[in-house]
Structure 1
Amino acid sequence: MPSEEFVRGMLYLSLTVVGVPGNTAVILAFLLLFYQENRLLPADAIVLHLACVNLLVVGVRCLLETLASFSLASIFGDLGCKAVIFVYRTARSLSIWLTFVLSAYQCLSFAPPGSRWASIRAVVAHYLVFVFLFLWAVNTCMSSAAVLFSFGTERNSSLISHSINVQFCYVHFPSKLSKEANGAAQVGRDVVPMALMTLASLIILVLLYKHSKQVKGLRSSSGVSGGADRRAAKAVVTLVTLYVVLYGVDNGLWVYTLTVKTMTSSLISDLRIFFSSLYATLSPIIIIASNRKVNGRLRCAVQEKNVKKKASSLTADRS
């Protein structure tokens, strides 16, 4: 095996072994919470949805890239490339927009009761399912170019300047205009939520600063819920910061890919996928560390498993 493919395989493997269990743990924790309480708060539902699409990002792209790099599976034919790139791009963009929705909803949580912003927050919470459906519809449509232009092998050499090499697949655009239009649409789809979530995070930080000055030195029962709100807000700001850094690199590389006249090396594509998938891999770690509901449910599950093991071992010893 060439050293380049081995390094690529190990990088994708590292993302897979962290991202798949991490996002799966978050999903199971919220499903257990829903089973126990028969409901999920809107913020919890957004985080659950975010974990699901992040699992798609890591499971569909990184896992399959790992298998292909180590020659364990050959799935990147024309149909496989279309399916993988379509699902990856859709899940990736959904991850971005859900992070924005989470940051915006958390920002609205600081609105005083009875205000216009509090009313907007209530409307968003009530119609959250329709928000999810709208995001799925929009991002699915914007990823349709992957179905049309993705192939498992190189096509006409005259179109090489309009092509993108993504290692096991090639995206062949029929013209320079179509390539640039598709690229601009993807950049806009990322930059718009990036700007909005950055603005929301800055507002959260300002409100947290003002709130900390107001409650400084006070000890009351309301301080408990305020502390919970501050922890949730800080976790959201951390997720947004992680997103802006990693996806900023990703989009920078994507713009570079669009500006060069010849087909770029697959290394550029590997770096883009690595940085964008890194967010899907690290975000569940932040969620588990900062969300007490998730942390508590996972601890309970581990404790119950240990108790069952001890009980079964005692039963075996007695028998």
Structure 2
Amino acid sequence: MPSQVFVRGLLYLSLTVVGVPGNTVVIVAFLLLLYRENRLLTADAIILHLACVNLLVVGVRCLLETLASFHLANVFGDTGCKGVIFVYRTSRALSIWLTFLLSAYQCLSVAPPGSRWVPVRSFVSNYLSFVFLFLWTLNTCMSTAAILFSFSSKNESVLANDAINVEFCHVNFPSKLSKQANGAAQVGRDVVPMALMTLASLIILVFLYKHSQQVKGLRSGGGGSSSGSSGAEQRAAKAVVTLVTLYVVLYGVDNGLWVYTLTVRKTMSSSLTSDLRIFFSSLYAALSPLVIIVSNRKVNSRLRCLVQKNPVVEKAATLSTM
């Protein structure tokens, strides 16, 4: 096995080992919460949806790339390439937009009670299912080029100068214009939510700063401290800002490499650039559940319950055998 392919497999394996269990834990925790309380808050529903999409990113792309790199299994025929790249691009784009939706909703949540944005928050909560449907429809339609232009790297008869090398697959555009148009649409799809979620995070930070100044004033004046619900909102807001920062850094590198891929003349010589793009975009899907697990008390409480139940079950099993 060539050393480059081996290192490539190890990188994707590391993402798989971190991302699959991490996102699975978040999904199970919120499903248990849904089963127990028969409902989810809007922010919790968005996080659950985000974890499902991130699991698709890591599972469909990184896991399959790992298996193919170590020659354990290879689904990257023409049909497999079309399916994998389509699902990956759709779920990757949904991960971006759901992160924006989470940051925007959290921005609305920390707004003052009498703010004019309160009705917008209620609108998002009431029509969240339609928002999810719109995002799925939008990003599915924008990823259809993967079905039309993706082929296996073994199918050398369809390769062209404007093809993008993704190791086991090639995205073979019919012309340079179509390649650049598709690339520009993808960059625009990523940059718009990036700019909006950055703005939302800045607003959240301003609200948190003002709130901390108010709390200091109340404490110095003997007026008490903030409520528990306000503290929970602050913790959630800080977690969202962390997620957005992680996104902006990793997807900023990803989009920079994508622009380079679109502008460089020869992209068929090596798949290194495409591998780096996939790695950085998948890195967000792998690391974001760790941020959620550490910062979200609902996930922590579900995990503690599971951990505390295991010793009880083991003790009962030991007593029954005595």
**TM > 0.5 fold call:** yes
Name the counterpart of 1:179: 179
2:90 & 2:10 partners in 1: Cα distance? Answer: 25
1:236 aligns with 2:236: no
1:211 & 1:66 partners in 2: Cα distance? Answer: 47
1:132 & 1:211 partners in 2: Cα distance? Answer: 31
Aligned residues: 316
In the TM superposition, residue 122 of structure 1 has moved relative to its aligned partner by 0.4
> CA 1:297 to 1:221, structure 2 compared with 1: closer, same or farther past 3 Å?
farther
1:188 & 1:310 partners in 2: Cα distance? Answer: 57
1:101 aligns with 2:101: yes
Provide Cα deviations, 1:218-265, integer angstroms capped at 9, x if missing partner.
374743221111110000000000000000000000000000111242
Name structure 2 gaps, 5 residues minimum: none
Amino acid at match of 2:204: I
Scaled by the length of structure 1, what TM-score is found? 0.96
Matches within 5 A, 1:170-319: 170-216=170-216, 218=219, 220=224, 222-264=226-268, 265-316=270-321, 318=322
Provide Cα deviations, 1:183-202, integer angstroms capped at 9, x if missing partner.
00000000000000000000
Contact 1:246 1:276 in 2 (8 A): yes
Name the counterpart of 1:111: 111
Contact 2:160 2:173 in 1 (8 A): no
Name the counterpart of 1:129: 129
1:122 & 1:29 partners in 2: Cα distance? Answer: 25
In the TM superposition, residue 267 of structure 1 has moved relative to its aligned partner by 0.8
1:221 & 1:310 partners in 2: Cα distance? Answer: 43
Amino acid at match of 1:232: A
**Off by >6 Å, runs of 4+ in structure 1:** none
Contact 1:254 1:272 in 2 (8 A): yes
In the TM superposition, residue 16 of structure 1 has moved relative to its aligned partner by 0.3
In the TM superposition, residue 112 of structure 1 has moved relative to its aligned partner by 2.5
Contact 1:108 1:117 in 2 (8 A): yes
Amino acid at match of 1:23: N
Contact 1:81 1:169 in 2 (8 A): yes
1:139 aligns with 2:175: no
SS of residue matched to 1:170: strand
1:222 & 1:35 partners in 2: Cα distance? Answer: 31
Contact 2:90 2:140 in 1 (8 A): yes
2:120 & 2:74 partners in 1: Cα distance? Answer: 49
SS of residue matched to 2:117: helix
Percent identity between matched residues is 76
Contact 1:160 1:263 in 2 (8 A): no
Matches within 5 A, 1:131-170: 131-153=131-153, 154-156=155-157, 160-170=160-170
Q: Which stretch of the first structure deviates more once superposed, 37-46 or 260-269?
A: 260-269
In the TM superposition, residue 299 of structure 1 has moved relative to its aligned partner by 1.1
Contact 1:155 1:172 in 2 (8 A): no
In the TM superposition, residue 302 of structure 1 has moved relative to its aligned partner by 1.6
1:161 & 1:209 partners in 2: Cα distance? Answer: 53
2:94 & 2:130 partners in 1: Cα distance? Answer: 14
2:52 & 2:66 partners in 1: Cα distance? Answer: 20
Scaled by the length of structure 2, what TM-score is found? 0.95
CA RMSD of aligned residues (A): 1.3
In the TM superposition, residue 313 of structure 1 has moved relative to its aligned partner by 1.9
